[in-house]
Amino acid sequence: MDQVIIVSFVLSVMTASTPLLLAATGELVTEKSGVLNLGVEGMMLVGAIVGFATTVHTGSSLLGVLAALLAGMAMSLIFAILTLTFLANQVATGLALTIFGTGLSALVGASYVGTAVEALPRVLFGQDALVYLALVTLFVVAWFLRRSHRGLVLRAIGDSHDAAHAIGYPVILIRYLATLFGGAMCGLAGAYMSLAYATSWAENMTAGRGWIAVALVVFATWRPIWLLVGAYLFGGIMYGSLAIQAAGAINLFGYPLVVPSQLVSALPYLATIVVLVVISRDRARIRLNAPACLGRPFHAAG
């Protein structure tokens, strides 16, 4: 019996952490190339509704997932053109992307509220393919950044775009590719929300997960494997907060402690703040691991 509970707990935590892991893996690659895209929340929302609408109309969840991926990429392309070609401020452009994505997804999604789709087909241990794709992608990214030549080039561009440019690496092109990869992963994260996590669409359904994913990259101090730890930690907190709400009270040494559901809902956000503080207070560690050119525009002279 206990074993069943533990297995079901692990599987639920995996479900809750998958969208965070997908989005954070994409954002990690983007940031490693020196680009700070704060539009994760907006890209996830657009991915969620495009994936959902495509699945409703075609009946194929595979097409839905692909469409979400492309939608996330299209959103990140807007960001890339503005910040990399037009040298716009990355923080402000990221915020604009989130405002735009929130509005766009609400407009498109208005006619899909109340519709349901079949959940993504399960492939292994009752989990769908995206759960495993998230894990595989993370390990591929970890290998790519640490072990491959191209990964080294990407990190070099993130750490010193002037030096990388002087050696002859195409700084802007690689930053475009890293940003588009980030967008694609956020699109997938959105698709997971609407096609697997909820199997329905609701306005603002990501509820800050995009921002938590951005925070996770800081939590991991830009190291992919720690992203896995962070995503499962937050997946656990989110699952725990849902479980407490469902139970209605916490069993505190035999005494039921009734907690307002809003306080429980606030736990993931409060945990994000706590985790950020714990990691960031070590200034040297942040400075050592953060891409040195993060958020800085690059313009080749001449």
Partner 1 sequence: MLLRLEPRGEHSRLWTYASPLLALALTVVTAAIIFSVLGKDPLQSLYVYLISPLTSTTGLPELFVKAAPLILIGVGLSLGFRANVWNIGAEGQYTLGAIFAAGLALSYPDAPAILLMPAMMVLGILGGMAWAAIPAYLRTRWNANEILTSLMLTYVAQLLLIYLVTGPWRDPEGYGFPQTALFSSNATPPMLVEGTRVHLGVLAAFLVAIIGWIVLTRSVIGFQLRVLGQAPRAARFAGFSQSRLIWLSLMVGGGLAGLAGMFEVAGPVGQLTPSISPGYGFTAIIVAFLGRLHPIGVIFGGLILALSYLGGEAAQIDLRMPNAVTGIFQGILLFFLLACDVLILYRLRGPKPAAAGGA
Note the residues at the interface with partner 1 (CB under 8 A).
38, 78, 81-82, 86-89, 91-93, 95-97, 99-104, 106-107, 110, 203, 207-208, 211, 214-215, 218, 260, 262-263, 265-266, 269-270, 272-273, 276-277, 280-281, 283, 286, 299, 301-302
Give the count of beta carbons closer than 10 Å to the beta carbon of residue 265.
15
- Cβ proximity to partner 1: between 10 and 267 the closer is 267
199: left (phi over 0), alpha (psi -120 to 50) or beta: left
Q: Spell 28-45 as b/e; 16+ CB within 10 A means b.
A: bbbbbbbbbbbbbbbbbb
Q: How far is the CB of 8 from partner 1 (least distance, A)?
A: 27
Q: How far is the CB of 117 from partner 1 (least distance, A)?
A: 21
Q: How far is the CB of 271 from partner 1 (least distance, A)?
A: 9
The SS3 of residue 35 is coil
- Cβ proximity to partner 1: between 118 and 282 the closer is 282
- Rounded CA separation 96/116 (Å): 30
Q: How far is the CB of 135 from partner 1 (least distance, A)?
A: 25
Tally: H helices and E strands in the chain: 12, 4
Closest to 31 measured CA to CA, from 226, 273, 218: 218
Q: Spell 230-240 as b/e; 16+ CB within 10 A means b.
A: bbbbbbbbbbb
Structure-block tokens of residue 8: 């079901």
The SS3 of residue 119 is coil
Q: How far is the CB of 109 from partner 1 (least distance, A)?
A: 8
- Cβ proximity to partner 1: between 104 and 129 the closer is 104
Q: How far is the CB of 120 from partner 1 (least distance, A)?
A: 27
Q: How far is the CB of 287 from partner 1 (least distance, A)?
A: 10
- Cβ proximity to partner 1: between 100 and 132 the closer is 100
- Cβ proximity to partner 1: between 4 and 301 the closer is 301
- Cβ proximity to partner 1: between 48 and 65 the closer is 48
- Cβ proximity to partner 1: between 147 and 283 the closer is 283
Is 57 within 8 Å of 246 (Cβ atoms)? Answer: no
